[in-house]
Structure 1
Amino acid sequence: MLNIVILVVVVMGFEVKKTIQLKSNHPLHDVVERINEKGGPYIGVVMAYPTEELALLSSGFFLPSSDLPSLHLSGRTFNIGKIKGVDVIYVMTGEQTLNAGITVQILLDVFDIKGIVHYGIAGSANDSMSLGDVSIPKYVAFTGSWNWKEFHSEKGDLPELKFGAYNFPEKGDNLLAKIEFTSQQLYSNGRPMEEVFWLPIDPKWFSLASQLQDMKLVQCVNETYCLPGTPQVVYGLRASTADIFLDNVAYRKFLFSEFNISTVDEESSAVLMTALTSGVPCIVFRGVSDMAGAIDKLTLSSLYTLAAANAVSVAIEFIGLIGSTYQTLEDH
């Protein structure tokens, strides 16, 4: 007679902590386990370019861990430490959406992460924004996914860009026809797949970031040149991401007029979608380094440095707010 024993484990009254580990036979398994047990849960801080990482290091606010300051995994360097007393792990993703998505997924899968702060530089598609401004968008779209329509095809359901409308010197048909912007498939825990165009910033974190609108930002590129106006923190606009470095006035104006997009970059939507998939809060801070095709009188490298410095200063203040908020909740 075959005896079958069914063991049922019932967990009640407490939250089961998600185990985030490498395979037990992975050479770094014990190191990762030590990082997760010794600190955290961590805020993941994500940037794409060396200039953006240098801005964080130059700020003096990142204090590396004296025990395990960094870990090299899958070609990336994960840096462990604190910012304003908050446990953080920062990592540079590399450029564009594929690198950004892969890096954030590794960060979330391997380490005990309670949220993602993403900062960097961006082009402006909004004439009301100025160089050095920092945008805290409420929504981010991926505008690099297109359905390329047939010549003289019918209008689709989503916004379209007709190339003939930008022929020079006269508008008219051309064989490039038009492209229709497409939605993305968002997969997330416990929910069916959704077709989405606008990805939302976490509402609680977005609300918390409203306290940053009066921050003082850097205005001077160097000792001899300052921007004509004082950079501002601009709250609640819309951002877009595509694997395109946008340096085209006509397309810049199209994005603003059709979608009300204010900043353009190459990573934010990938970072945000990866966080949404895992159910982790995420926020984005983007400093304006160029006008996406409009004329700049300054060298790009100077503008990148100033925009990155302003973006990271806003991100650092936000991390400080997170620390204060979590501490208040723990005290109560």
Structure 2
Amino acid sequence: MNTQQSVLAPVLNIMVVVTILVVQNSSTCCLASSQHQNLVRWNHPKRELLDRINRKGPYVGVVMAYSTEEMALQSSGVFIPNCHNPSVDLSGRKFNIGSIKGTKVIYVMSGQRRLNAGITVQILLDVFDIRGIVHYGIAGSANNSLSYGDVSIPKYVAFTGSWNWENLGSKNVDEFPEMKIGNYNLPKEGQNLLGEIAFKPEEFFSVGQPMKEVFWLEVDKTWFNLAARLKGLEFRQCENATSCLPRVPKVEYGLRGATADIFLDNAAYRNFLFKEFQVSTVDEESSAVVMTAMSSGVPSIVIRGVSDLAGGEGTPVSTFLSSLAAVNTLNVTIKFIELIGASKNTLVK
């Protein structure tokens, strides 16, 4: 071997070793990318616990906003906690690990309004191995055909709390309806210095796609079609001898829901939403849950029970109505989770 070859030999050996390591690391990365990625930092104090939980996955994420809705689940006895890891606290929220009717679930109470709901769903998706999100809870009715105790499974939800508040006579450049404040003057309509409200779409970001503006968010088609089997569910009309509803509640399928960081108790605005947007239920979380899940390409569905008439005439909100709506909604949710468990091969991961 000449001098030049003897000098190059160690260099070539190093290059071969480096190439092998790069190929091995590349293979490892490709393998990891095909599995669930736990985004908790490697030195997080609960990392080992979270890894153990995820090894038993995937799970259906179940999200509710109010304590009434969580109490309905807890008192039903259908949620069976995991005997080894029943719960984990993250960012002030308790994530409960277990099963419902044999389907593995992680349920969490997000708290009220969009920000809390969006944060909670993002934690679920980032930290746990989640196959989809089921969001259930109570809502107000903006549709006279929906009454107390009815349960709606909407096909579309929208955030109707994003506005341009404009001066009188401003030109609306969007295709969405405007609410002219003067139309609601009393004793007769006319001009009003509050001007008019123009509704705005949301900026939606998703994996591998450019940002786009959306107004209506569609729930997952596969899950929505699966939920069609629930339309014939029956509910109780009476809680006891003195607490009865005007009629037997029913499941309504394929309507529209609206979300805003507003508790709606105004008949005029309720009627506006129904007339201009064909909205049937109003709440403070649903669009945030659906948009967050859609951004990550994870299926989601919304199940909402009517507890009040959102400012319409009728019985005011009561503990009885709120509790009954929560129980009816939970019963539909349980049946849907059963369908998920029996239809694993049809679900998008």
TM-score range, shorter chain: over 0.9
- Tell me which stretches of 4 or more aligned residues in structure 1 moved more than 4 Å: 1-6, 10-15
Does the Cα contact within 8 Å between 2:160 and 2:260 map onto a contact in 1? yes
The 5-angstrom pairing of residues 21-100 of structure 1 reads 21-37=39-55, 39-100=56-117
Per-residue CA distance 1:170-199 (angstroms, 9 max, x = gap): 000100010110000111111111100000
| Structure 1 letter corresponding to 2:92 | G
Unaligned runs of 5+ in 1: none
Identical amino acids, percent of aligned pairs: 58
How many residues are aligned here? 328
Give the Cα–Cα distance (whole angstroms) in 1 for the partners of residues 161 and 240 of structure 2: 35
Per-residue CA distance 1:11-48 (angstroms, 9 max, x = gap): 999981132241111111111011111x2100000000
Does the Cα contact within 8 Å between 2:263 and 2:284 map onto a contact in 1? yes
Cα offset for 1:300? 1.8
Residue 19 of structure 1 aligns to a residue in which SS? coil
Give the Cα–Cα distance (whole angstroms) in 2 for the partners of residues 119 and 312 of structure 1: 7
Q: 1:329 to 1:275 in 2, by over 3 A?
A: closer
State the partner residue of 2:290: 272
State the partner residue of 1:195: 213
Matched, 1:212 2:230: yes
Give the Cα–Cα distance (whole angstroms) in 2 for the partners of residues 252 and 282 of structure 1: 26
Does the Cα contact within 8 Å between 2:204 and 2:295 map onto a contact in 1? yes
Give the Cα–Cα distance (whole angstroms) in 2 for the partners of residues 49 and 133 of structure 1: 18
Match of 2:194 among 167, 173, 176: 176
Give the Cα–Cα distance (whole angstroms) in 1 for the partners of residues 163 and 334 of structure 2: 36
State the partner residue of 2:160: 143
Cα offset for 1:299? 4.8
| Structure 1 letter corresponding to 2:101 | K
Give the Cα–Cα distance (whole angstroms) in 1 for the partners of residues 150 and 186 of structure 2: 33
Matched, 1:243 2:261: yes
Per-residue CA distance 1:239-280 (angstroms, 9 max, x = gap): 000000000000000000000000000000001110001110
- Identify the range of structure 1 (217-226 vs 93-102) with the bigger mean alpha-carbon deviation: 217-226
Give the Cα–Cα distance (whole angstroms) in 1 for the partners of residues 289 and 240 of structure 2: 32
Residue 194 of structure 1 aligns to a residue in which SS? strand
State which structure, 1 or 2, has the greater radius of gyration over its C-alpha atoms.
2
Residue 122 of structure 1 aligns to a residue in which SS? strand
Per-residue CA distance 1:211-251 (angstroms, 9 max, x = gap): 00000123224331210111000000000000000000000
Q: 1:294 to 1:329 in 2, by over 3 A?
A: closer
Name the structure where helix makes up a greater proportion of residues: 2
Match of 2:181 among 150, 163, 171: 163
Does the Cα contact within 8 Å between 1:21 and 1:33 map onto a contact in 2? no
